[in-house]
Structure 1
Amino acid sequence: MSSRRPVAGIDIGGDRKGNHLVILRGTQIVCNLRKEAPEHMLEKCLQFEVAAVGIDAPCRWRIGEAGRQAEKSLAQQRIFSFATPTRELAMASQSGFYGWMFNGERVYDAFTPHFPIFRNGGETGGGVCFETFPHAITCAFLGREVASAKKKGTQRREILKHEGVETTPLRSIDDVDAALCALTANYLLDGRVDAYGDELGGFIVVPTPAVHDRRVSSDLSHD
């Protein structure tokens, strides 16, 4: 990575699992927090002078009947995600499923005064936060046909290792996903990302590795 400015990634969970934060400086993990409040994660990001924050949660609720363009665009690439509802539908749900999306909303609310939400083509130099998606990140590095939810623990660690990130401190898949979001922030600062979506529904940001970096080991492709 040409950028050595600190970056962060946040994996969003429900109330029981909580949120996980990883801060990278280059490829070195300099902070790893688990189950912390958004305000404490923000405090750490400001302390380390983070330049970009990748967040694994929708940055916008759906508006009206039409789905978010970001999710539609990824689906056209056969990369599928949870469909984000309107906030009203999420509030009305009795299942509790959307709790993680409300936790994501609280993270964005805490961060956006200091890290404005990514706008495709906008400046990122003054600090930015953005939505990303670990499965889409995995597809970018390994290929859609290889990326597997069943093998995500192994595959996502291998991506980080290939990028030079020491994965030993990452104790869970939630830590790994937070590190992948931070890795994507590095790619954003280097200008090596694809942004799916539009201004109305927000953008999902995915790395665009160089062709020679899109390596798939025989273990990952044939397990």
Structure 2
Amino acid sequence: MKPEISHFTSDDVVFTDGSTAQDVNTILLGTGYDLRVPFLEESGEVIVNPGSNETGRHRLTTNLRYLFPLHRHIFSLSASYPTNALAFIGLQIMVYNCPSDTAQSIYTASIIANGSLLAPRTELLRELADDEEDLRRRGYDPYYIGHRMVDNSAFDYQDDLIETLRSKGGLPERNTSFVEAWRRDCVEYLGNLKRGWKRLEALGQAQEWLEGVESEEEWFDLMKRVSTWQRDWETEHDQLVVFSDDTLIY
């Protein structure tokens, strides 16, 4: 992940941290989007204040990057209604959306059905303030990064939602985590996996590797085997496979 662009030279793109990128063919100015909730803004329930960097207790506020105050990026802590009355699913970025949205949906449905699973509003606001302060200690401005899951925290976040419900009786106790081990593991070798699969296709061997692969466990095993196969090949040949349709996005 690169910071913002500082300037261009005749050969390089120079970023604000002093690093550079060479041989850049195309630059797309991805300016992002504003975090807005128009149907709640019209009723006055959400206040739009681009410069806001402090959580209030009375109305939801968006500074166009961050919607707050929210309990665990989901439930509104506005004083206008009960704490389990208004929920937002899918605000996070830098996550795998489907499993993240599933964990949030389970958490939301359980708490809508039983509001006693939530602590009092004052305690939830204090918890939010503590979370924001923890981000600051780690060098992040919570009102700038918004709902971004930093430092690979997305999986821990999902597990924590489900474990919180289990610990309070909102879900049956289980000995398994919500996030399967293979989801955590595959993050470490996605590059090898992608390059390996493309090489298998180029060699005409992909179908052979797919034979008999049906269950989730078998797919996970296949992913590991492809990654290991590619890693070993690149180590032996001391080179990284690059395909013509690969695009590096900063």
The interval holding the TM-score normalised by the smaller chain is under 0.3
Q: Normalized against structure 1, the TM-score is what?
A: 0.26
Greater share of residues in strand: 1
Structure with larger Rg: 2
- Relative contact order: is structure 1 or structure 2 higher (C-alpha 8 Å, sep ≥ 6)? 1
Greater share of residues in helix: 2
